[in-house]
Copies of this chain bind each other. A is one copy, B any other.
Amino acid sequence: MKLDEVTISRAILSEQHKIMTEYLDIDCAVVGGGPSGITCAAILAQNGVKVALIEKKLSIGGGMWGGGMMFPRIVVQEEARRLLDHFGIKYTEYEKGYYVASSVEAVSKSLAAACDAGAEVFNLTTVEDVVVKEDGGVSGLVINWTAVEMAGLHIDPLTMRTKVTVDATGHDSMIAHMVRKKGGALEIKGEGFMWAERAETNILSHTKEVFPGLIVAGMAANAVGGETRMGPIFGGMLLSGEKAANMIIERLKK
């Protein structure tokens, strides 16, 4: 067939313009494309929620790509094995209850599931600020190109309206920090010493709404809750993403 560069360019512009315009008003924004964010977005989309997964980097997957000390393997414990199965990720058993998977496969399979289900991904997108109005809760995100910040440019952002936002930005818990820095009543206790077992046990209780309209998940949940550090075991991360998704599904039903 005959190929025309301008048509290719217009195809890209038009399709993405449609998506961007439509996704400025959504049910849920999940900020941070690591394991808990991907899991959360996948399960939300699988349940019909209009969800955007916002990631500041070019690629999705965050720290999961690198496994432990650059050896690209992750460990998942018994309790979360069913989520590996849910996403179709292969694993081997190292010792009883310790399952080892390829970190690359873990990223690609869970992300493929999210895309399949209709989650829309906004990569290279930075959240600069949040919208908080009369009702005192987070009702939107102020977004910009990550490249604008990387290039040191001074450019105004745009705004996306959300019913609920998930902070899955890892131990930086960036959305929670934005809220607190501008005066929101929200305590951030910070991550504790390394103690994987305690961290894995408690992460689900830290996965909750910490400010009206803002739910924390994954390492951000533990960082806000003052929990210990977990290292390269990923079961709690996946379960936390799942729990956040389920909380939102319940809330949106009302």
With contacts A7-B98, A115-B109, A147-B148 taken as known, whether A157 is within 8 angstroms of B65 at the C-beta atoms is no
With contacts A108-B111, A145-B69 taken as known, whether A98 is within 8 angstroms of B11 at the C-beta atoms is yes
Cα A116 to Cα B109 in complex, Å, equals: 9
C-beta contact mask, A1-34 vs B, less than 8 Å → 1, else 0? 1111111111111111100110011000000000
- What residue in chain B is nearest A148 (Cβ atoms)? B147
Q: Is A254 close to B, CB under 8 A?
A: no
Q: Is A251 close to B, CB under 8 A?
A: no
With contacts A20-B13, A77-B3 taken as known, whether A66 is within 8 angstroms of B155 at the C-beta atoms is yes
| Chain B residues near A194 (CB-CB < 8 A) | 5, 129-132, 140, 142, 159
| Chain B residues near A7 (CB-CB < 8 A) | 94-95, 98
A selection of 26 A-B contacts at a CB cut-off of 8 Å is A1-B78, A10-B21, A11-B73, A16-B71, A58-B65, A59-B107, A63-B154, A63-B155, A66-B155, A66-B156, A68-B155, A68-B158, A69-B143, A69-B148, A70-B124, A70-B148, A72-B124, A88-B112, A107-B108, A132-B192, A132-B193, A145-B147, A150-B152, A158-B232, A182-B190, A182-B193
